[in-house]
Structure 1
Amino acid sequence: MPRMSAEERRESVVRAAMEEFGRGGYYGTSTEAIAQRVGVSQPYLFRLFPGKRAIFLAAADRCIQDTIRMFEEAAEGLEGEEALHAMGTAYKRAIAEQPSRLMMQMQMFLAVAAAEQEGDREFGEAVRAGWMRLWDAVRLPLGVDGTTRFMAHGMLINCLVALGFPVGHRVWEGLDVDPLRCGPGGPQA
């Protein structure tokens, strides 16, 4: 079996970091856990990335890039309501099939809030820049009003899934998510 290149190993670290940070958050995840998941030593991990912060920011950026790509592919050739429904369906499928994506998103928000409470605005600036790329990618096919509605609806789904509300619970009424299983705690049919 051929050895992985540094770039391939770096990619495996980013993917592993999304899983680990999604589960444990920035402060609750050790670089040792990430190194173990990838099958490398911590010293090797730090040859690929200068530190835990750089690993987290690379994982956050990848999470956003993957989400942008998913929305662009779903909305290709569509606009308005058609794009909104296609993107919504793609997102619900993604959080059902890859709950780590949802959890990583939620952990990004928490990590920025915690860093800024400590006076670290640079950390948040990096994550906000990625989020603005996501906002702009959604805005292209949906326009201003559609983007606000879509993002608000998506954040509500994120929160309800992260909180583990089961299918059939009254909080899901009107959210059109029953056909899909959406991640860690709900909706599960």
Structure 2
Amino acid sequence: MALTEFARGGLHGTATQVIADRAGISQPYLFRLFPTKHAIFCATIEYCFDHIERELREAAGSLEGVEALNAIRDRYWMLLKDTALLQFQLHVFALSVEDTVVRDRGRARLAGLWRLFSEADEDPELVFTFFSRGLLANLMVAFEIPYQHGGDLALALRDWADRS
């Protein structure tokens, strides 16, 4: 619930009353659960990355190596269809520039995703390429760069850049 609201307005542009209303609780009760809006945002970081990690682990299942990474990649592209999830991640990345608490939480959660990918395939160069493409996918979805999942990513980017 908070994720959807923070996805729209970020930490500074989201009213706690809106979060409380969406959760179906009073604002005073919300502040009994979380002492500050910043604490709500940080808890939402945990929720967001827990969700992503759970989905990717489920996708990999008992697969290993490239098959596991391909399953993870396919699931991640599906997750990016949830614009709130994507927008919230982008707010986390942006806020990390100035907020050390958010930066530390985001860094720890990205490290967890890196470890997840590394469990699927121990080749650090393959994991690096895979992780980089995933972050690029975030930008492509955010900027509405046309791409058909499963197509040639480099060609899609070249064609888009030539038309832009």
TM bracket (short chain): 0.7 to 0.9
2:51 corresponds to = 66
Aligned in 2, Cα 1:90/1:124: closer, same or farther, shift over 3 Å? same
1:109 corresponds to = 93
Q: By how many angstroms is 1:67 displaced? A: 0.9
For these two proteins, the number of residue pairs brought into alignment is: 153
Q: Measure, in 2, the Cα distance between the counterparts of 1:146 and 1:59.
A: 30
- Return 5+ residue gaps in structure 2 as ranges: 157-164
CA deviation vs aligned residue, 1:35-82 (integer Å, no higher than 9, x gap): 121122211110111111111111111111111111111112212211
SS of corresponding position for 1:50:
coil
Q: By how many angstroms is 1:167 displaced? A: 4.7
Contact 2:66 2:120 in 1 (8 A): no
Q: Measure, in 1, the Cα distance between the counterparts of 2:52 and 2:110.
A: 10
Which of 116, 126, 137 in structure 1 is aligned with 2:105? 126
**Root mean square deviation of aligned Cα:** 2.1
Q: One-letter code of the match for 2:95? A: A
SS of corresponding position for 1:78:
coil
2:133 corresponds to = 153
TM-score, length-scaled by structure 2: 0.84
- Return 5+ residue gaps in structure 1 as ranges: 1-15, 116-120, 179-189
Q: One-letter code of the match for 1:56? A: F
CA deviation vs aligned residue, 1:122-168 (integer Å, no higher than 9, x gap): 33212211221121112110222222111110111100111122457
Q: Measure, in 2, the Cα distance between the counterparts of 1:61 and 1:173.
A: 32
1:136 corresponds to = 115
Contact 2:96 2:103 in 1 (8 A): yes
1:76 corresponds to = 61
Q: Measure, in 2, the Cα distance between the counterparts of 1:39 and 1:69.
A: 26
2:37 corresponds to = 52
TM-score, length-scaled by structure 1: 0.74
Q: Measure, in 2, the Cα distance between the counterparts of 1:129 and 1:35.
A: 28
Structure 1 runs of 4+ aligned residues shifted over 4 Å read: none
